Structure 1
């Protein structure tokens, strides 16, 4: 009898292990709690765009599109019945401390606050956040923090790509870069994952949650473009990339962390230039050659 009981218990345990993973959270409920809807990526991450369309920011006389340098976001990754949330919130200087205090009160961790650009007017700052737990609770806390900023909520889940002309030879840029970009309105964007997985608190951090290199082009006329974004680098890659960028006329505008417990340890390098789009693509390709990235 005892053997049968043990066998039965083992079968129950094995049955539980063989059950499919719990379903993804109810994203509609989370969107309601956050106050804005997003989209689910093929990898199961729910990402909500938070572009600061309310701000008019210029740099070296160039008006920056929200999707180019002012595109905040929040992303949820399911972890059984809970979720991991990460994000990058764009804030004005006076919004930083009220938002930070409210997020901390709601159990959201602040993992970085810093600039991405130099000389931008008005100055914008970028607050990186992290949380784990019940996704609705996390979304509610994020909503309370965002409410103390003027971040636009509601509207489309994310800016829709349009037929608007990019303003430079995008196909030529793709060929030089060795990757295919995507048009998001007037901004041409590249997302280039690192070769090895990135983990935070034992969970893999997919590209949709900020572990990939991001490069944005915005036309400035006459075949020229402004570029910005961030390279995601290990320690040994930092200075080779700086040298490659500077050798090609690309300015380094920030170097810092975005996360606290990531593996491997990573550094995020932001950059800026305004020049011939093909010339800049060659410079970016030279920098990418110094980084362990996934091949296109």
Structure 2
């Protein structure tokens, strides 16, 4: 047997294995897949379930267990082809904080809007899933009036170059939520995040646009009365409204209840939030600034924002 031939074969196999490993790592890098993000989301969800279900000796409230949830930070930036001489970034907004960059390509404003809205919809669905899909009372098992517990799931910022290319606004966010299906389900994003079989959005904003000012997806839980107070205050938060779902064994959500546009809807909502429903889970997309967060009347922020 030719020993040189055997040596060459072993060396060739080793080189092929090395090439496959390098190719796999490069593919992960180029695709933007980040295993640590999936781990963070799993850890967050497990801490939510644990906090919501851990027994309390007095049977009155959840034991004070902190949520192990980190705020995800995303930068929407122009593609390298759109800015070959200067890579678009969000350094001015995040000020030294670590963030993930999603480069938005497309040959038209419409295509860029669709790419951005796809990410926003996916992150809203991820947030809803991580925080228990509105099926858990996370922060308290008794009504705590005027308490609004908030968790910032994701922050978005826009690079200056991309913002200029789309005219300082993103159009079609509502339409994307209403028209596109959550992967591995038969529900649209809107149906999923409102726990509803209906695809009706009360008070649909025909302009359907948001600015490229920094945004945040905020999950909130409150008592029933505080939610009605929110309804009037949160107008304009996300396309003019707030998503809200009752939490409890008798909770049911009807057509379009998710989008709250003002106090005039209070009577319509009341029939869905009666009986043994002490808590309401809700979610909104707000401007990430002092005024935007202040409007949500959060009495505390849970998890790790930075």
TM-score higher than 0.5 here? no
TM-score, reference length from structure 2:
0.27
Q: Which one has the bigger strand percentage?
A: 1
Output the TM-score relative to the length of structure 1: 0.27
For CA contacts below 8 A with separation 6 or more, give which structure has more relative contact order.
2
